[in-house]
């Protein structure tokens, strides 16, 4: 294990949230790009860090084992630093609830909607409609939760906000009208103004943008099949949209 904190990742929301937390805590860390479009997540060396073959993975000498799953990483860093997770109840339990809402619902469902928006363009109307409706409903739930509240849980900015905010940029990317979710959008913009968030985005851009774009454009159909979890049981699709994004 390295002698300083290393975060393995790419420029995706599940990674960005951890970079935001590292910056909020003022920790010293290194970002290492994992070329997921070139199947690097399936290298034995990476699978030894996370058998799921997914980023982010945090290596922190203070923990001593590699840690995967962005919610678990945020929770570890909050405990390590004693920040962004209230110590008193019920605030602590509520922060964990909204962190889990992001991990179990907002991230996975928006991820599915992104997939069916992008990849088999127009060929999966049922899946597109299903995940679109779920994404809309989740945006509504978060928007309602933020009525009369500054933060998702408790009375301070927490790991629940940090986990959720990078996913809230999908409102427009998914074709929803931001005016339909005014509280969600205002909360998202408020968080975006934080200096730590701006530093995090700049660090992630520096470390991940160029290598990710190069490997995405160069990806073969076999690379993208593996990235999207497509096997011979799933119909072949046209990946030109992904390469030309």
Ligand X SMILES: N[C@@H](CCC(=O)N[C@@H](CS)C(=O)NCC(=O)O)C(=O)O
Q: Which is nearer to ligand X, 183 or 228 (CB)?
A: 228
Binding site for ligand X (CB under 6 A): 12, 14, 36, 41, 53-56, 69-70, 103, 107, 227
Whether the Cβ atoms of residue 199 and residue 193 lie closer than 8 Å to each other: no
Smallest distance, ligand X to C-beta of residue 153, A = 18
Q: How far is the C-alpha of 208 from the C-alpha of 213, rounded, in Å?
A: 8
CB of 227 to ligand X, least distance (A): 5
**Nearer to ligand X by C-beta: 125 or 201?**
201
Please write down the HEC assignment for all residues of the chain: CCCCEEEEECCCHHHHHHHHHHHHCCCCEEEEECCHHHCHHHCHHHHCCCCCCCCCEEECCCCCCCEECHHHHHHHHHHHHCCCCCCCCCHHHHHHHHHHHHHHHHHHHHHHHHHHHHCCCCCCHHHHHHHHHHHHHHHHHHHHHCCCCCCCCCCCCCHHHHHHHHHHHHHHHCCCCHHHCHHHHHHHHHHHCCHHHHHHHHHHHHHHHHHHHHHHHHCCHHHHHHHCCCCCCCCCCCCHHHHCC
Using the minimum distance from each CB to ligand X, give the nearer residue, 144 or 222. Answer: 222
Minimal distance in Å, beta carbon 12 to ligand X?
Answer: 3
* Residue placing its CB nearer to ligand X in the complex, 70 or 139: 70
What does residue 220 show for φ and ψ, rounded to 5 degrees?
Answer: -80, 170
CB 159, min distance to ligand X, A: 12
Nearer CB in complex with ligand X: 54/145:
54
Find the shortest distance in angstroms from Cβ 61 to ligand X: 21
Residue number with CB closer to ligand X (12 or 164): 12
Q: How far is the CB of 37 from ligand X (least distance, A)?
A: 9
d(C-alpha 158, C-alpha 215), whole Å: 34
Shortest distance, CB of residue 180 to ligand X, whole angstroms?
25
If the CB atoms of residues 53 and 132 are measured against ligand X, the closer one turns out to be 53
Alpha carbon 102 to chain centroid, angstroms: 9
């Amino acid at each position: 294990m390295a002698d300083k904190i290393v975060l393995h990742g790419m420029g995706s929301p599940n990674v960005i949230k951890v970079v935001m937390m590292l910056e909020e805590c003022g920790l010293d860390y290194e970002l290492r790009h994992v070329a997921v479009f070139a199947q690097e997540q399936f290298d034995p060396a990476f699978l030894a860090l996370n058998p799921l073959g997914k980023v982010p993975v945090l290596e922190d000498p203070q923990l001593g084992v590699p840690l995967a799953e962005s919610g678990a990483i945020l929770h570890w860093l909050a405990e390590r630093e004693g920040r962004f997770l209230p110590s008193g109840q019920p605030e602590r339990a509520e922060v964990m609830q909204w962190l889990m809402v992001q991990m179990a619902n907002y991230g996975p469902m928006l991820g599915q909607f992104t997939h069916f928006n992008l990849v088999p363009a127009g060929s999966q109307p049922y899946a597109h409609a299903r995940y679109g409706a779920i994404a809309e409903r989740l945006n509504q739930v978060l928007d309602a939760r933020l009525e009369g509240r500054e933060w998702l849980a408790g009375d301070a900015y927490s790991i629940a906000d940090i986990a959720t905010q990078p996913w809230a940029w999908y409102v427009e990317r998914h074709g929803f009208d931001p005016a339909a979710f005014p509280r969600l959008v205002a909360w998202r913009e408020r968080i975006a103004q934080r200096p730590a968030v701006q530093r995090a985005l700049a660090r992630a851009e520096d470390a991940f943008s160029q290598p990710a774009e190069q490997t995405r454009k160069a990806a073969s159909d076999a690379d993208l099949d593996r990235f999207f979890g497509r096997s011979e049981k799933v119909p072949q699709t046209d990946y030109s949209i992904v390469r030309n994004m």
